[in-house]
Chain A
Amino acid sequence: MAEPDAELVRRVSDRDPGAFEDLYRRYAPAAYGLARRVLRLPDLAQEVVHEAFAALWAAPEAYDPARGAFRGFFLSLVHHRAVDAVRREERLRERERRVNPQPEVDEDFSEGLVEEADLADRRAEVRTAMADLPPEQRQVLQLMYFEGWTQARIARETGTPLGTVKTRSLAAMRKLRERLG
């Protein structure tokens, strides 16, 4: 049986490179997949994931097991850094769209990639729960989470009242919490 994440993080606190490498092997594909999905730019995605792991190595005590699973903590760390980076990149991305107005496809690079079973199972559960959300709630979460849009921008770009965007965000998060909790 694989060593629990919390134990690996404890060993990272003791400066154990082997434990750090185990966490890298366990979460790098998910982290890199997430960063690529948000950023679209492989180089930048690599930098974001590198920074997240560097932050983990520098301060593993930032993870508090009492606040939830390591997976959620670490992937949220990657996500926040990716969103920060994508907001910096907005102007550049707009330039790219003007040059190449093809819609960006969410590429799937996962063929042949072997994930640990519990991570793959969880992935399937999350996808099902997301697919079961009403489309307008799903759209708000996707724009916020993967495009890095704020609520005001979602309201502006989709022509939806800001109050409705806020209500939909909360309703969607509550449903997912209930399904996945």
Chain B
Amino acid sequence: MTNNRISQKQGILMIVMFIIGSSMLMVMGLEAKMDIWISILIGIGATTLIMLVYVRLMTVLPDKDFFESLEFFLGKAGSKVVVFLLTWFSFDLCAIVLRNYGQFVVTVGLKETPLAVAMFILIILCALAVKSGIEIIGRWTETFVIVVIAFLLISVALTFNNMDINKLLPVLDKGIKPIIKGSFGVITFPFAETVILLLVFPKFKKKKEVKKVFLLGLLIGGVMILITSVADMLVLGADIAEDMYYPTYAAFATVHFGDFIHRLEAIAAIVFIIAVFLKISLLLYGACKGTSVLFGFKDHKFIAMPIALLAFCFALFSFDSMVYYHEWVFKVWPYYSSVFEIVIPLVVLIIVQIRIKTMKKKSQNKLYQA
């Protein structure tokens, strides 16, 4: 395939959109209440370290991509296990985010529409995006990221009238424990979900680019999440924000600027739908690519439709109700996802480093003998 590359800029913007994705509406880290900004800052710091692991895994062999280097170090069976686990994670997350989108549309906008219809339309679009290839998705991101960031910043700026700095005070009222818990939530949903980009990203031209893509993407995306979360807190206050399913949506609804700009919650919905489309597309892309590698195919486009339909089914039957879904995301997701986001990459990295060391020793021994 010739057109299987994305530029460094597109990579950064993809991570930014991926992080903004669903988490701009569902604010994580609410356990920390008014100290949520500390939680998010800690989260960004900790994720930087986790991302260095991803970067190392992607660039460990300069002339091979992630899958090939996995096979080189772990052998055929070992690499298949790792790829299978990451593919399952990507697929499951795809279903979960899709369900989130469907519930949002059905509760907020199209109240008479069945959940299945709302989700089906988006997943078919995502499957078509996957079929058109990573380069097209990259260019699409480049076009729409401006809309997302500009809309978000303008809307946050317009809520300025309703902000009350006292809602963030007192700092560190409940001690350090809720902050740590909150930052754990923020790390696992959205920041470290970027682990699936290991499956998605093609090889970049230079080694340095990968590091820049991951870290700069995290920084910009993290700052956007920080801005929206803090704005939610300032406008709504910790207790109200905790009771809401979509705090950002509610915060933007309070905008009254002059006599002519009222209620910007539609903007929040537009931004959410644009960003979530990209997030689901990337997750589906990861699932398709992982599956095709598992079964030894070079092309992954033919499998996009069936996997999209499968994800659609999973999104429908995995959760009974919206209440259960939200409880699950806040209570179970951090523990469940940290296995895939933190434990597996770390274990793989440790094995890779040990293998490199033993290989070096062997080659040195050979030199001495010769």
Decide whether A and B assemble into one complex.
Answer: no
Instruction: List the interface of chain A (C-beta within 8 A of B).
Output: none
